[in-house]
């Protein structure tokens, strides 16, 4: 089920079933999506959206709002490939 704001932007999404969750959306004054926050029974994840001065989306960043964990991945030569901290990859 969806709800919408006064500018017809999606405000919330609620899904029920085997995977029950809610997504809340936030927009700027130009109706560009700034963030969405997905909340389920076992996790909360936030995605932030970034724009250039012309209003084009240039990136996004997702983080899970759980206990702080760091994961590291290595190649066979023991070189660091990536670091993942609380849902953010470096």
Output the six-digit token pair for 56: 């084009």
Q: Is residue 59 part of a domain?
A: yes
For the stretch 13-68, pLDDT in tens is: 999 988 899 999 999 999 999 999 999 988 899 999 999 899 999 988 888 876 44
Strand partners, 35: 26, 48
Name residues whose C-beta falls within 8 Å of residue 72's C-beta, 6 or more positions apart in sequence: 80, 82, 83, 84
For the stretch 12-21, pLDDT in tens is: 999 998 889 9
pTM over 0.95? The answer is: no
Q: Is residue 49 part of a domain?
A: yes
Q: Is residue 90 part of a domain?
A: no
CA distance 26 to 46: 11
Q: Is residue 12 part of a domain?
A: yes
Q: Is residue 72 part of a domain?
A: no
* Of 89, 75, 14, 68, residue with least CA distance to 24: 14
Q: Is residue 34 part of a domain?
A: yes
Distance of CA 18 to the CA centre of its chain: 21
Domain that holds residue 30: 2-65
Q: Is residue 75 part of a domain?
A: no
The total domain count for the chain is 1
State the pLDDT at residue 84: 57
Q: Is residue 83 part of a domain?
A: no
Output the six-digit token pair for 33: 């999506």
């Amino acid at each position: 089920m969806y709800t919408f704001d006064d500018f017809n932007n999606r405000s919330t999404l609620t899904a029920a079933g085997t995977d029950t969750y809610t997504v809340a959306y936030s927009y700027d004054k130009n109706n560009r999506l700034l963030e969405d926050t997905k909340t389920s029974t076992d996790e909360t994840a936030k995605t932030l959206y970034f724009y250039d001065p012309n209003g084009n989306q240039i990136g996004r960043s997702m983080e899970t709002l759980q206990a702080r964990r760091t994961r590291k991945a290595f190649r066979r030569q023991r070189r660091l490939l990536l670091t993942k901290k609380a849902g953010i990859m470096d």
